[in-house]
Structure 1
Amino acid sequence: MAQRTVVFIHGLWMHNSSWQSWMDFFNQQGYNTINPPWPGDSATVAECRANPQLIANRGVTEIADSYAAVIASLPEPPIVIGHSFGGLIAQVILGRGIAAAGVAIDPAPIKGVWQLPFSALKASFPVLGNPFNFKKAVSLTFKQFCYGFANAIPEAEAKELYERWTIPAPARPLFQAATATFAGKETKVNTSNTTRGPLLITGGEKDNIAPPVLGKASLKKYSTAVVTEFKLFEGRGHSLILDSGWKEVAQYSLDWLKKNGF
């Protein structure tokens, strides 16, 4: 029997190589793994930081289409695991019916989720606070990273993650998500597709960028005809796939996939 492929999808401000620990973990469990970059991403963190113009002005649909093109080259529909905006992309892909199962870890909100917690607004303000950022790539300062990603871990660990993985990110997806309630279809997910694979949505109790209320609200948009579940990770922030507690999330995701036949 052919090994199932897991496609890892990174979010804003993270380089695709930040999935390496997860890839090693899933490889050891008998899966094939790939971590395609977003359009415009360079091969290394340093190159991304040196060439932010290549990343700028990339929108949700372009990013999702780039992953769909990768998936089309695979022998069978893969599992998609995404974090943050990658979790939104994973849901878009799953809704298109081209993935076998999906895990959306602390995902950005899909269209139709109207809740806007203060912490999410504050975490996004470095980008959304300036409309001229729309077509630009924006980097987070360490202080901004600590609030948005690393508020639940020690500062020394936060510094290590910031220096190792962070890259400039296109502002366009954040603006698309922020205005989705009123206009635009870029963050729309086909939640009524009853032929899709099962979906796990997670939330970190202390996540400032994507508080659990957003994941729970997304869950309510889905048809109950297909397995769709929410898991809360207590005491965890948005860095939960990167920090020293990453294996707890990876192990839960693996167990959930196996429970659902993958």
Structure 2
Amino acid sequence: MPANRTPVMFIHGLWLHSTSWQPWADRFRDAGYEPILPEWPGVPATVAQARKNPDPQAGVGLAEISAHHARIIRDLDTPPILIGHSVGGFIAQHLLGQNLARAAVAICPGQIKGVKAVGPAQAKSAFAFLRNPANTKRAVSLDPAQFRYAFANAVEQQESDELFSEWTIPSPARPLFQLALSNFAPHSPAKVDTRNAGRGPLLLLSGKLDHTVPDVLTRSTRKQYRNSPATTDYHRFEDRGHSLTVDHGWRELADYSLNWLDRYQH
């Protein structure tokens, strides 16, 4: 790692490959950071390989994904900044709560324990997988129509099709079950230390049009941190859906995140 560069770890969510963060990585490198794009356990290095061989990640859950990223962090010379989307946004919060990062940006984050699931749009996005308990041991895929509804409802159909073709991969369904059922499990892996007073600053970003993680869930997530004096900021993008990290408007989020980080890093 180049000297004097703060590492930034990008953590993707379900159904997107780590390489989907590459434009963000380039933007952050240009801004003086050192990007890291780790994969989830069992996921190959390319989209094509992940589509061809999804089985090694089948059954992987939140605890395994978080522990995998924690091991990478502990091998770094300095704590990183974390930027996560969807389930990756949950992982970023989980690691920040353990004091493993200096700051975190959680974008449309998977709901932590204590946040209540709401709304038919969210239910429709996940029901196709949650209705079959056997999926907890499988890697599952979105079809183009599911991707359009869950991710790309705020962009044109052509862009939705292009994003689906370029970035989607099969993903383990187990994290979906763990997040959805977290409030019924006393020892849920979806629990985050929201009372940690000594953690680094956290920025929660949401899209008003998001079907998968509706904005109300992100606002509810912020409320879970009300008993901690540590910084927890929130911002909503009015015209964005769940694809906001990979669609044509990604730079707006990246620049907002960079500007927010500048307040704490310099």
Q: Using structure 2 for the length normalisation, give the TM-score.
A: 0.97
Q: Which residue is 1:253 aligned to?
A: 257
Runs of 4+ in 1 over 3 A off after TM superposition: none
Separation (CA, whole Å) in 2 of partners of 1:126 and 1:19: 27
After TM superposition, the structure 1 = structure 2 runs for residues 42-191 of structure 1, keeping only pairs within 5 Å, are 42-183=44-185, 184-191=187-194
Q: 1:218 aligns with which of 213, 218, 221?
A: 221
Give the gaps of 5 or more residues in structure 2: none
Measured against aligned partners, the alpha-carbon deviations of 1:38-61 in whole angstroms (never above 9, x if no partner) come to 001001111111111111100000
Separation (CA, whole Å) in 2 of partners of 1:255 and 1:235: 20
1:116 Cα deviation (Å)? 2.1
Measured against aligned partners, the alpha-carbon deviations of 1:89-142 in whole angstroms (never above 9, x if no partner) come to 000000001100000001010001113221111101121121111110100000
Residue identity matched to 1:11: G
Residue identity matched to 1:38: W
Separation (CA, whole Å) in 1 of partners of 2:79 and 2:197: 16
Q: Which residue is 1:194 aligned to?
A: 197
DSSP-derived class of the 2:106 partner = strand
1:224 Cα deviation (Å)? 4.2
- 2:237 corresponds to 1:227: no
Contact 2:196–2:228 at 8 Å: present in 1 too?
no
Q: Which residue is 1:22 aligned to?
A: 24
Mean CA deviation greater in 229-238 or 219-228 = 219-228
DSSP-derived class of the 1:202 partner = strand
Separation (CA, whole Å) in 2 of partners of 1:224 and 1:58: 31
Aligned-pair identity (%): 49
DSSP-derived class of the 2:63 partner = helix
1:261 Cα deviation (Å)? 2.7
Q: 1:237 aligns with which of 214, 238, 241?
A: 241
1:10 Cα deviation (Å)? 0.4
Q: Using structure 1 for the length normalisation, give the TM-score.
A: 0.98
Separation (CA, whole Å) in 2 of partners of 1:117 and 1:47: 35
Separation (CA, whole Å) in 2 of partners of 1:241 and 1:107: 12
Q: Which residue is 1:41 aligned to?
A: 43
Matched residue count: 262
Measured against aligned partners, the alpha-carbon deviations of 1:51-94 in whole angstroms (never above 9, x if no partner) come to 11111100000000000000001111110000000000000000
Residue identity matched to 1:32: E
Residue identity matched to 1:9: I
Q: 1:207 aligns with which of 206, 210, 222?
A: 210
Residue identity matched to 2:253: V
Separation (CA, whole Å) in 2 of partners of 1:116 and 1:47: 35
